[in-house]
């Protein structure tokens, strides 16, 4: 019971950070699977069925540019942040940093209370 | 290879046509990237199960809403329904009642007409409601799909601000005048007015002759005498309708409304007494007919009719007094 609640809250917490995590890897062009591997390496698990639609949505919102690379044996679709995407990413990053600082303060305050 | 093809097909067939090819191609490369160079069917299966249910994948690709009427317009949809539905019911009943009063020929007994009419009214209401639901829903689906406005909030087309709260009326439950009450009042008025102008065809002495259906033998009221009172009846009908509209707008019983209501009711009772006490109101052929039918004296028939009229008058007075007192009590609730 508690476990499934923890899971659902964690999913909720993570969902908001996914966009930021994906954008952070797209300063250089990446194709879908390479992105999955990079994120996994960093410990960020993301369902593939979440990632690919997310990439398309970000492209539709004009944050990413995509291009098909057909020079190799396997054609691959590469995604990369454009200028607008980079701008938005920087702003999001600032927001995130503020948020973590605020939350850390709150959480540490909590620990102090516990030790009192 | 076939499995990958099938998977891509299962996803893309659920998507808009224009994005199908691109997504299919992308899925192919994604799946192949997950596989080693010489892959077995088992490995394909593993990769595909990682991607999950094609229906779910398609759903996350799709960005148009999956619901017919989404949260943005749902409130407006429900409100529109609540406004329209009572009116549809009201107008359906009114049209049917007026139509059948006008078309009533007096050939059938009024009771069978009323029973048949009730069934017809219910059928008409159901039909009208189905139409209403269908068309209103269709309009709102269109609003949801094509977005009539960026923001359809609490009121159609406007964005909520705290200023709106100033217009909210907090009405105690006991003071509320329900819309149904008002609509019922309208129907009631319409029925009585319709009855008044058609009394000679509606109210009569019925008898079945030779085992046939009930047939009207003679009207109870003298229609010319009855109709001579129309300058009294019509203003009262209009006053009742006006009062109904006023009740609809104020939504609650106030002292002012109670007073107006009481005045109208008292005067209409007076008018009723005036009309009822006209000796020529009852068709003059009724009394002799009763005398021969029941084999009693003319004076006892007259007594009986007097008694009947005054019983009705007193009943009406009592009901009006009770109603005025009840509404007064409601208005006093704070």
Q: How many CB atoms lie within 10 A of CB A104?
A: 10
User: Is residue B276 a part of any domain in this protein?
Assistant: no
Supply φ then ψ for residue A30, to 5 degrees. -135, 150
ipTM, interface predicted TM-score of the complex = 0.78
Nearest to B191 by CA among B150, B160, B237: B237
User: Is residue B210 a part of any domain in this protein?
Assistant: no
Question: What pTM does this model have?
Answer: 0.51
Q: Is the pLDDT of residue B247 over 60?
A: yes
User: Is residue B25 a part of any domain in this protein?
Assistant: yes
User: Is residue B156 a part of any domain in this protein?
Assistant: no
pLDDT tens-digit readout, A28-86:
999 888 898 899 899 888 888 888 889 998 998 999 999 988 887 778 889 999 999 99
Angle CA A103–A104–A106, to nearest 5? 65
User: Is residue B57 a part of any domain in this protein?
Assistant: yes
Domain that holds residue B21: 3-61
- Asked if B7 contacts B54 with a C-beta cutoff of 8 angstroms, the reply is yes
Mutate to test the interface with A, among B33, B64, B66 (most CBs of A within 10 A): B33
- In chain B, whose CA is at the least distance from the CA of A74? B29
- Name the range with the highest mean pLDDT among B76-80, B91-95, B113-117, B263-267: B263-267
Total domains in chain B come to 1
Mutate to test the interface with B, among A38, A51, A52 (most CBs of B within 10 A): A52
Is A16 at the interface with chain B, CB within 8 A? Answer: no
User: Is residue B72 a part of any domain in this protein?
Assistant: no
Question: Could you tell me which residues come within 8 angstroms of residue B328 by beta carbon, excluding any fewer than 6 positions away?
Answer: B258, B262
Task: Measure in Å the smallest separation between the Cα of B160 and chain A Cα atoms.
Answer: 27
User: Is residue B124 a part of any domain in this protein?
Assistant: no
Contact A57 B63 (CB under 8 A): yes
User: Is residue B48 a part of any domain in this protein?
Assistant: yes
Banded pLDDT at B65 (limits 50, 70, 90):
low
């Amino acid at each position: 019971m508690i476990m499934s609640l923890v899971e659902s809250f964690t999913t909720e917490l993570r969902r908001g950070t996914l966009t930021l995590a994906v954008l952070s890897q797209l300063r250089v062009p990446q194709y879908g699977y390479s992105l999955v591997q990079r994120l996994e390496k960093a410990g960020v698990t993301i369902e593939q069925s979440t990632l690919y639609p997310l990439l398309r949505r970000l492209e539709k919102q004009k944050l990413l540019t995509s291009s098909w690379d057909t020079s190799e044996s396997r054609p691959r679709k590469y995604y990369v942040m454009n200028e607008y995407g980079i701008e938005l990413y920087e702003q999001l990053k600032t927001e995130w940093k503020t948020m973590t600082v605020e939350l850390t303060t709150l959480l540490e305050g909590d620990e102090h209370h516990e030790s009192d | 290879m076939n499995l990958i093809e099938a998977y891509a097909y299962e996803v893309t067939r659920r998507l808009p046509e224009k994005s199908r090819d691109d997504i299919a191609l992308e899925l192919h490369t994604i799946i192949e990237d997950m596989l080693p160079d010489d892959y077995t069917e088992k490995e394909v299966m593993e990769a595909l199960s990682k991607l999950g249910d094609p229906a779910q994948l398609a759903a996350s690709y799709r960005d148009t809403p999956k619901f017919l009427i989404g949260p943005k317009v749902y409130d407006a949809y429900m409100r529109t329904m609540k406004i329209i539905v009572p009116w549809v019911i009201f107008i359906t009943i009114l049209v049917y009642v007026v139509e059948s009063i006008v078309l009533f020929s007096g050939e059938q007994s009024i009771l069978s007409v009323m029973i048949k009419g009730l069934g017809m009214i219910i059928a008409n209401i159901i039909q009208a409601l189905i139409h209403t639901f269908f068309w209103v829903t269709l309009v709102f689906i269109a609003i949801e799909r094509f977005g009539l406005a960026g923001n359809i909030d609490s009121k159609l087309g406007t964005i909520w601000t705290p200023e709106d709260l100033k217009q909210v009326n907090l009405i105690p439950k006991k003071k509320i005048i329900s819309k149904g009450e008002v609509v019922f009042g309208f129907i009631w008025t319409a029925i009585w007015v319709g009855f008044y102008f058609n009394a000679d065809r509606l109210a009569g002495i019925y008898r079945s002759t030779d085992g046939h259906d009930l047939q009207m033998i003679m009207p109870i009221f003298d229609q010319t005498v009855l109709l001579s009172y129309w300058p009294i009846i019509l203003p009262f009908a209009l006053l009742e309708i006006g009062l109904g509209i006023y009740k609809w707008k104020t939504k609650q019983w106030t002292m002012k409304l109670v007073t107006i209501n009481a005045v109208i009711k008292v005067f209409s009772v007076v008018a009723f007494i005036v009309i009822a006490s006209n000796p020529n109101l009852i068709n003059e052929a009724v009394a002799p007919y009763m005398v021969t039918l029941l084999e009693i004296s003319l004076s006892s028939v007259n007594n009986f009719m007097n008694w009947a009229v005054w019983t009705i008058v007193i009943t009406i007075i009592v009901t009006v007094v009770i109603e005025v007192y009840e509404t007064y009590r409601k208005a006093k609730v704070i």
